[in-house]
């Protein structure tokens, strides 16, 4: 399924939000690879929400830097 990532009460009361299934397995895999996996792998510009509401920059780790937005931009601009 895909849907709005901003399901906050203020938005649900003032506009229409949608949720829809991705029925084609190939397309579902592409959506996963290009969005969820890409953003979960971001170690260059990611922030982690702490229990107290503060954000802390995610640790880069030992691997090479991966920026989800730069990856998508490179793919879209060919």
Give the residue extent of every domain in the chain: 2-77
Q: What is the pTM of this model?
A: 0.67
Smallest CA-to-CA distance from 30 within 72, 73, 77 is with 72
Per-residue confidence band for 52, with pLDDT thresholds at 50, 70 and 90 = very high
CB 33 within 8 A of CB 19: no
Residue 61, pLDDT score: 81
Tens digit of pLDDT for each residue in 2-35?
Answer: 987 676 777 777 777 788 999 999 999 999 999 9
Percent of the chain with pLDDT over 70: 96
């Amino acid at each position: 399924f895909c849907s709005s990532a901003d399901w906050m009460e203020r938005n649900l009361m003032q506009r229409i939000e949608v949720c829809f299934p991705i029925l084609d397995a190939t397309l579902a895999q592409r959506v996963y690879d290009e969005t969820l996996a890409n953003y979960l792998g971001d170690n260059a510009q990611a922030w982690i929400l702490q229990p107290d509401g503060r954000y802390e920059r995610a640790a880069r780790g030992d691997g090479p830097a991966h920026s989800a937005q730069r990856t998508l931009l490179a793919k879209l601009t060919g």
